[in-house]
Structure 1
Amino acid sequence: MGGLFIGVLFTLSSVLRAQQLPSFPGAEGFGRFAQGARGYTTPEVYAVTTLEDAGPGSFRDAVSQPGRFVVFRVAGVIHLKSNITIAPYTTIAGHTAPGDGVVLYGRKVSFSGSNETIARFLRIRLGANAGAGKNEDASGIANGKNIILDHMSFSWGLDEVFSISWDKKGLEPDSITLQNCIIAQGLHRYNHSAGGLMQTGGKVSILKSLYISNKTRNPKVKGINEFVNNVVYNFGNANKTQEEHKLSADAYILGGGSAMISNALILNNYFIGGPATPKNKQSPFSRGNENFNLYQTGNYYDNNQNGILDGVLIEENEQWYPGLALKNFKTKADYADYPSVSPALQAQEVVSYLINQVGATRPKRDQVDELLIQELKSLGESGSYVYDEADLPLSNGGLGTLSAGQPLVDTDEDGIPDRWEEELGLDKNDPSDALKRSKHAEYKGYLNIEVYLHRLAEE
């Protein structure tokens, strides 16, 4: 019955959006049709030209108004002095930065109310040493619809790292995708190292992403959710240093004590224990309830911490999914309208894919993400449980160093460098052509600046 209801629920919306343009080539999941600045009535290009917290040319100013394609002419750490909320109809292109790219550090960057927003290749790191509050997340969505976050790196939350949880204001979060993202190192300064909550009546996809070195909530799921082709690594606090903190380890939480009806896909994921994971942890799933329905297949668990990917297949039963009953296990047909019901990658392929592709890989990975990937590559033998960011073996208070680089020449300052204007058949002296529709047949419907951003991401 639950599957039939879901099918009816999605059929109309699927038909209505079938002809819509994907946010970019490779966009997947429930948020794959977010329009970004293209969908705004009067889009414009805004170049971030300073690492200052505020003022003309700052990231804060760039995302303060809707309808902007945000490109970067600088690289480095932006030390935020207060929280930022991204305006609706925004396209953030972190991969346009020179050098080693950009890090937003010290305060929460929220996508609440950021309807129709696309954000790619950006690092958001909260941290404990720059004045953020005890109950602050690194990032998240409390309300809003049609949002896709791709190749983002989130870390060092003090409460959660990244959560989607309705605040009863605005639109209940719906049609949202996180793909190719890192959700990492929830800090345990306040004994709350948590990946995040995914609890909304709307639709959320978590795809090809890495939850790493968070004690719990990797993630905690309620509602309509796809969890497909992900890796959860080094969950728990078995290597804790605070004796007063209880031993804990939760990867995927199956609703917890929620009365909300949940319908979830859990497909082709790999759960890998690390030094923080108790060796007697029998299952990566916990705290199921009678309201949590799912279709699961192709998931693996490896907790022998031996440096070899040799996990076992997770079976469809109450031992692996504690708290669930036979009635909670559904079939593929029940979730046929979920966009990720037929994933391209097997669980064994996901690990190598993420090692090469996950996080803000353009213009290049920073030292924090490189450290995380090295831990993942150890396949259980290394992993952090972080009190605060300064404990990491990196300079600059744990942020590491970032090369400033040199931005490409952009004669008409339209956001498309001259080299790319030539490659795309545009005029480097015409600042208006960036926001014109592309004449390339394969990019029909996109603006020229989007074609540049698509091609740059694939380079």
Structure 2
Amino acid sequence: MNRIKLKSFLHTANVALLLSVAIAGTAQDKLLAFPGAEGGGCYVTGGRGGKVYHVTTLEDDAKNPGSLRYAVDQKGPRTIVFDVAGTIELKSDLVVNNGDLTIAGQTAPGDGICLRNYCFHIKTDNVIVRYIRSRLGDDSGAETDAAWARNQKDIIVDHCSFSWSVDETASFYGVENFTMQWCYITESLAASTHVKGAHGYGGLWGGNKASYHHNLLAHHYSRTPRLVGNDEFPEKCLIDMRNNVIYNWGPVLGCYGGGGGSYNFVNNYYKPGPATNEKPAIAGRITQAGVDDTFFEHGVFYLSGNRFDYTSPYLGSKAQQNAKASDEDNYEGLHIVESEYATKDDYIADREFVVRPTTTHTAEIAYEKVLRYGGCCLRRDAIDERVANDVRTGGYSYVSGDKGSNGSTGGLIDAPEDVGGYVEYTATELEMRNKLDSDGDGIPDNWEDMYGLDSADPSDALTTHKSGYSWFEYYLSTLVNSITRECQSLESGIPVTENENADADWAITSESVAIKGASALRAYTVSGLSCDYVVGDYMWLGRLDKGAYIIVADMGDGRVLSKRIVKN
């Protein structure tokens, strides 16, 4: 197989198409979890239509109706909103045992909310988490992650910041219909309180129909991430990693693992740092994979459009050479553990695995967008701002000397104090007053007044807005509209245009469009936003509003065809 030629063609096609998904306002069979929700978990319902719980205290008290823990422990569909800003010092792991939950961190006034001391653990299905920070630290002695979930389904984690963990930082595996998007996973503690010694890991990532996109992994000793496949049932593992930014990984393994399953690595941006150079072989690594010794299964990988910045002054000549080779041919970055059961060609997919549509930028544009709009960025704290600056400048931020407090080097830290420690989260008097919600429906009075709702009637929050969402869900989305818009804008300079082919067998009616032999069809607006997607060669147009569209057909043989239509 001519890997370089195939990879180059598909990379070009991917850049030209820039697959994306529409947000509110486009007719759909299902509502997205929220405008901007994408990937495997895009249709999670969370607490939709349920009760609203207000967090009014930073105390971690399960018996206090105003505490976060109390609200998390309740049953039934529910959404948690925040009337306070600050740090919640957890007294034990915050475990979500009851599903049908939305945690709307974007509702917090001022600087927002941060969890500290213990793990945020999702142990149930159907959960939406947005705009929350979880910075574990080492004060409690907990040897755990900042956030994790295992063997659950229907979860989406959006615009959260996870850091300062003792084990992995953010781990999600064995999950199904899952998305982690636009999150910061940074600065795990390399030589801290873990009983096994050196740790400092990014995370364990796995699942079926599991999407990890537009996230930042920075300053980790290893596991950036460790992939968790399914050796016994490889058909139940489909992991999509795209548009992530990975900085300063090493010096152990970087990304590795896998096992049985299917894996996309599309348009990720790799920027080696000072810790990466300690082991030149991993400077150009996208992932390392091997055959498991029980079921003799291995993963199958599709790699396209991934870029390496091999110009770091920290890289020696060998490390720079490895990074450059993987930039030029992504499959050079697929490192295989030798086995009698499989050759490298056995690990390589001929085409991208089909996943739920996700806004896909070029790696270079994703790099800029993740640094600008990733993490808990409604009001970005000094911690995320500092890490983003590290990535941009290619540096690190020890506050004293050139090492962590227990001797770690290369930008890897051993304690929060190595980089300045925790920060304070506050809200002004005006910001607190603007949270007044007389009827307790989750929508502040001033917003209800502005939109003609009744601030004395909680029932109107659950009536339907023209977007298809309830007025309450619509309100939640407006708090972060500008961020969502910037995250989903393409800014590619490459429009989605018609590319008719005389050999193509298009069949277009007022109700449908089809093309013989297509494996998938996508409908785009002329501005480049995707508004429908089907597997197969036939698309019903009933879900589309009136207007002009570009229909893009993946022909399954390397050809990508497109046709302009007008729906009247």
Pairwise TM-score range, normalised by the shorter structure: 0.7 to 0.9
Partner of 1:232: 246
Alpha-carbon separation, structure 2, partners of 1:350 and 1:20: 27
Out of 289, 296, 303, which is 1:296 matched to? 303
Give CA deviations for 1:99-131 in whole Å, capped at 9, x if unaligned: 100001010111121x111110000111111x1
Counterpart mapping for 1:174-323 below 5 A? 174-188=176-190, 189=192, 190-200=197-207, 202-221=208-227, 222=229, 223-236=237-250, 248-255=251-258, 260-278=259-277, 280=280, 281-290=282-291, 291-306=298-313, 312=324, 313-318=327-332, 320-323=334-337
TM-score with structure 1 setting the length? 0.82
Matched, 1:96 2:91: no
Matched, 1:146 2:133: no
Alpha-carbon separation, structure 1, partners of 2:390 and 2:150: 31
Size of the aligned set, in residue pairs, is 402
Partner of 1:106: 117
Is the contact made by 2:181 and 2:212 (CA closer than 8 Å) also made in structure 1?
yes
Alpha-carbon separation, structure 1, partners of 2:348 and 2:335: 10
Is the contact made by 1:305 and 1:380 (CA closer than 8 Å) also made in structure 2?
no
Structure 1 position 384, deviation (Å):
2.9
Matched to 1:225, the amino acid is: I
Out of 162, 175, 187, which is 2:170 matched to? 162
SS at 1:81 equivalent: coil
Alpha-carbon separation, structure 1, partners of 2:103 and 2:454: 23
Partner of 2:511: none
Alpha-carbon separation, structure 2, partners of 1:391 and 1:317: 37
Partner of 1:56: 65
CA 1:274–1:319: 2 relative to 1, 3 Å:
closer
Out of 442, 453, 459, which is 1:415 matched to? 442
TM-score with structure 2 setting the length? 0.67
Is the contact made by 1:141 and 1:163 (CA closer than 8 Å) also made in structure 2?
yes
Alpha-carbon separation, structure 2, partners of 1:292 and 1:391: 38
Matched, 1:365 2:365: no
Matched, 1:330 2:349: yes
Alpha-carbon separation, structure 2, partners of 1:370 and 1:431: 38
Is the contact made by 2:453 and 2:460 (CA closer than 8 Å) also made in structure 1?
yes
CA 1:249–1:425: 2 relative to 1, 3 Å:
farther
Alpha-carbon separation, structure 2, partners of 1:28 and 1:319: 27
Alpha-carbon separation, structure 1, partners of 2:359 and 2:66: 41
Give CA deviations for 1:109-154 in whole Å, capped at 9, x if unaligned: 11121x111110000111111x1422x1111112311000000111
Is the contact made by 2:119 and 2:147 (CA closer than 8 Å) also made in structure 1?
yes
Matched to 1:101, the amino acid is: G
Alpha-carbon separation, structure 2, partners of 1:380 and 1:203: 35
Alpha-carbon separation, structure 1, partners of 2:141 and 2:336: 36
Alpha-carbon separation, structure 2, partners of 1:287 and 1:355: 26
Alpha-carbon separation, structure 1, partners of 2:334 and 2:40: 27
Give CA deviations for 1:323-350 in whole Å, capped at 9, x if unaligned: 46112211335x1x3124x753000101
From the CA coordinates, give the structure whose radius of gyration is larger. 2
Q: Which runs of 5+ in 1 are unaligned?
A: 1-17, 167-172, 237-247
Could you tell me the percent identity over the aligned residues? 34
Is the contact made by 1:268 and 1:343 (CA closer than 8 Å) also made in structure 2?
no
SS at 1:375 equivalent: helix
Matched, 1:454 2:477: yes
CA 1:343–1:306: 2 relative to 1, 3 Å:
farther
Structure 1 position 307, deviation (Å):
9.9
Is the contact made by 2:102 and 2:127 (CA closer than 8 Å) also made in structure 1?
yes
Structure 1 position 50, deviation (Å):
0.3
Alpha-carbon separation, structure 1, partners of 2:376 and 2:213: 15
Alpha-carbon separation, structure 2, partners of 1:231 and 1:431: 42
Counterpart mapping for 1:67-146 below 5 A? 67-86=77-96, 87-113=98-124, 115-129=125-139, 131-134=140-143, 136-146=144-154
Q: Which moved more, 1:176-185 or 1:217-226?
A: 217-226
Is the contact made by 1:232 and 1:272 (CA closer than 8 Å) also made in structure 2?
yes
Out of 454, 458, 463, which is 1:437 matched to? 463
SS at 2:263 equivalent: strand
Alpha-carbon separation, structure 2, partners of 1:430 and 1:314: 61
Alpha-carbon separation, structure 1, partners of 2:472 and 2:74: 19
Alpha-carbon separation, structure 2, partners of 1:287 and 1:339: 25
Matched, 1:31 2:46: no
Alpha-carbon separation, structure 2, partners of 1:178 and 1:108: 17
Structure 1 position 413, deviation (Å):
2.4
Q: Which runs of 5+ in 2 are unaligned?
A: 1-27, 230-236, 292-297, 316-322, 338-342, 398-409, 483-568
CA 1:52–1:133: 2 relative to 1, 3 Å:
same
